[in-house]
Chain A
Amino acid sequence: MAEYKCPSCNADINTSDGKIKCPACGNVYDEETLREYEGELKRKSFEKIEWGDYSPSGRLSEGYLFYSCKDCGGRFFTLKGQEDVGEERCPYCDTALTPQKEKLSALKPDTVLPFVLDKAAAGETMRRFCRLKPLLPNDFAGDSRAEEIKALYVPFWLFSCEAKGRLRSDGVKVRKQKDGDVDVTNTDHFMVIREGSAVFSDIQVDGFSAMPEKYMRTISPFDTSAGKEPGNKEFSGVLAETGDIDSETARPKADKTVKSGLEKLLSSTMSGYSRLNVQSREISTQNGKITLAMLPVWILSTQYGKKTYRFVVNAVTGKCAGELPISKARLAAIFGGITAGVTFIGFIISLFL
């Protein structure tokens, strides 16, 4: 005699009399379904996401000049020979950069993405963003600011893997019908199981913390298909951020992308249900790989008042993110003008009511 729990009301039911009918709620089951159902309940959720260790392809030291910013702590390097010594300014805070005399090095990136947008195109993107902004201070508007936009390589960790997953959900299909003066609601309960796999390629996670993450997520993703191994010229005449986030620190964000991405894909195949409630997830990865990439951006940082405002453009796609300063005088004038105007018109209308 086999004993089961009723999936509907959790009452004990047995198959001794040949019928599998719950004595409490009256639902009827076939034994194979109950066996599979209870077997599924015993499976536990797990996540086993492995990327392997990051092995750097080398370090950049000889032939490179390193800078640091005394103000914001930003650290950069560029190829010697093309630098503008004494004139380089920090892309993050616009402070003069100090060349480092001691011997320094930076991780050699596995891939470098070339600039697609030139300075003029990036400046035009900035000018477009500044248009129709009544709150922009007078001394900020105009072409001169767009001329100050700087090229910068920023480090990103790229995570790639093959992910497998299994998702089990409770699915409900609701049917409503009328029977005379009675509304009848039939609710069918299903156990919905999906197994599948997907390849995640070049999940991009910031390798530096100087820029607000929301800005970088806004301008991401970069199309890394055009990436190439760095030679000697990539960092010629352009600053590159050395980065301050290692691959281990960046991993949790990549893990989250894989977990939620695969769950979303599997859930998208569970169609036809009124409601779905995920009960268990089993996710694992294989052939994980971590690489370091240098991705190109155009960046403008400017001090206004006591705050530093940053504007960044993806130098491949042209997507932009950032913040512009607000003129308090203009804000006050617009607020006061609208208030006075609406008050006047409203008062005149009230006289005729």
Chain B
Amino acid sequence: MKTFVGIIHKSRRALVLMLSVCCVVFLWHSDPAYAQSEYTVYDYAGVMSESAEENISESAKKLIKDSGVDAAICTTNSLEGLTLPEYAKKVFSDVNAGISKDKDGILLLISFDAMHSGKGGREIYFYTNGYAKNGGFNEYGIERISGLVMDKLSGGDYEGACVEWLTLSGKFLKAAKDGKPYSADNRYKTGGDYLAGFLVSFAAGLIIAAGVCFVMIRMMRTSAPKDDNADYVKRDSFSVTKQRDIYIYSTVKRMKRESAGKKTIDE
């Protein structure tokens, strides 16, 4: 009995301890300062596999850890009559995305609405909130990242595009935190940009080198045959013996000027 009471006593302490832990965990989770979306990927359009979602979530965890900004991705077949920004805002709010009081977070919306309704193709929208909106990303950053993600998406690589979006967002946020945000004056460059710069420079080099060498080769020969028959005309020997300029007829064309630049002809 004593043992039983002891067990009960110990269980109570354990229960209190467990309840306390639960309360702490609950409070920790319910604190707006630490709230974030439950999942990273909300694949309403069903275009991603489970493993893809896991990979994306891993990348998102890294972003959240490094930058303190929440990240969510949503795919949808219908915008439910809303615009892209409206729908993105709604999803961001519905999934309770965002960290801290300001709900710092970003969301990538991939919409197939226009594609299904035959009005266009895939559309994406890069939604930012809190710090992400007010300092983390500028207009250049959002456009640059969206452009690069769209390039990836055009190949149908949704997982790659989402991981790219998370990775790029991390780089842009880090640059912003370091006080050197990417902008029109401090452009973000990919390997492709460096390659393009090299290729353009190389092509310019080839053209200039070809031009210079062409001139040098031309300098290696000198021959400029002239067709100056006057060289053989004896000085002062040319004389005109008859000179007639006979007026035959005239034609008159009248063209009315019009403001649009068109003209009408009246002969």
Contact = CB atoms under 8 A, between A and B. Distances in A.
Q: Bin the interface of chain A by size.
A: 35 or more
10 contacts: A29-B249, A133-B216, A184-B254, A190-B245, A191-B244, A213-B225, A258-B229, A342-B201, A349-B201, A350-B194
B154 to A, nearest CB: 25
A179 interface: yes
A326 to B, nearest CB: 6
Interface string A122-166: 000000010011111000000000000000000000000000001
Which of B189, B223, B237, B252: most chain A Cβ within 10 A?
A: B223
A196 B217 CA distance: 45
Nearest to B238: A198
A110 interface: no
A335 B209 contact: yes
B197 interface: yes
Contacts of A326: 217, 220
Which of A7, A204, A266, A350: most chain B Cβ within 10 A?
A: A350
Given A135-B217, A342-B204, A193 B257 contact: no
A218 B224 contact: yes
Contacts of B22: none
Nearest to B241: A195
Interface of A: 7-8, 27, 29, 33, 36-37, 129, 132-136, 166, 171, 179, 181-204, 212-215, 217-218, 220-221, 257-258, 260-261, 264-266, 269, 320-326, 331, 334-336, 338-347, 349-351, 353
Given A182-B257, A186-B250, A265-B238, A331 B213 contact: yes
B234 A339 contact: no
B197 A266 contact: no
Contact of B250 (A27, A133, A193, A217): A27
A322 B224 CA distance: 10
B209 A135 contact: no
Contacts of B213: 331, 334-335, 338
A344 B242 CA distance: 69
A33 B206 contact: no
Interface string B204-236: 111011101100110111111111011111100
Contacts of B251: 8, 186-187, 189
Contact of B233 (A8, A198, A322): A198
Contact of B223 (A134, A215, A269): A215
B229 A260 contact: yes
Contacts of B249: 7-8, 27, 29, 188-189
Nearest to A158: B232
Contact of A184 (B202, B238, B239, B252): B252
A190 B248 CA distance: 5
B263 interface: yes
A203 B232 CA distance: 6
Nearest to B224: A218
B242 A195 contact: yes
Contacts of B201: 342-347, 349-350
A217 B252 contact: no
Contacts of A29: 248-249
Given A135-B217, A191-B246, A350-B197, A218 B205 contact: no
B204 A346 contact: yes
A347 B198 CA distance: 5
A185 B198 contact: no
Contacts of B226: 217-218
A196 B246 contact: no
A189 B252 CA distance: 11
A33 B208 CA distance: 62
Given A197-B237, A201-B232, 9 more contacts: A182-B257, A183-B263, A196-B238, A221-B231, A331-B217, A334-B216, A343-B204, A347-B198, A347-B201
